[in-house]
């Protein structure tokens, strides 16, 4: 799980942007769940699950925040 988190943390900006596209955005949702489990943070776990359920709209949020801040919101 820590390798998965490190993989996403170490991605270059282009890689992060690619994972913000629809369907691939599930990678960021799983990242949030893994990060929540490893840090024992229930908020990240719930947000990750909601990101999976609401993937239709949330990929755009990740894309915009990655362009603006260099990483998706809540990551």
What pLDDT does residue 44 have?
87
pLDDT the model gives residue 22: 87
Which pTM was predicted?
0.85
- pLDDT tens-digit map of 7-50: 999 999 999 999 988 888 889 989 999 999 999 999 989 988 99
Q: Where are the alpha helices (DSSP H) in 10-54?
A: 13-18, 26-39, 42-53
Q: Is the pLDDT of residue 54 over 90?
A: no
């Amino acid at each position: 799980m820590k390798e998965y988190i490190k993989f996403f943390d170490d991605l270059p900006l282009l890689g992060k942007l690619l994972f913000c596209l629809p369907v691939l955005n599930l990678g960021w949702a799983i990242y949030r769940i893994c990060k929540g489990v490893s840090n024992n943070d229930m908020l990240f776990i719930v947000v990750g699950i909601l990101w999976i359920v609401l993937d239709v709209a949330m990929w755009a949020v990740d894309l915009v925040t990655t362009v603006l801040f260099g990483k998706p919101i809540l990551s």
